Amino acid sequence: MQRSLLLLINGNFIDAFKMYPAIFTLLALFLFILLNFKAKFKQSKKIISSLAYLNVSIMVLSYLIKINL
């Protein structure tokens, strides 16, 4: 994940995705959590749990694909 984040910072979006496919949704989750501290959203628990579920799904799926290849 650290190498993927460095690739993302350097502007290599495709390489960052190839390195760690959940990087974009994980950043969205962290940004939403930070924004939620500042401005409370009505459906924040639902959004956070949905993003977390999406992240876990992407992580498990990418892990299974890497094992089989």
SS (H, E, C) 41-59: CCCHHHHHHHHHHHHHHHH
pLDDT for res 69: 72
The per-residue pLDDT string of the chain (69 residues; one tens digit each, 9 = 90 and over) reads: 899 999 999 999 999 999 999 999 999 999 999 999 998 888 999 999 999 999 999 999 999 998 987
H or E element, residue 22: none
pLDDT for res 51: 94
Distance between CA 37 and CA 15 in Å, rounded? 31
| Full-model pTM | 0.80
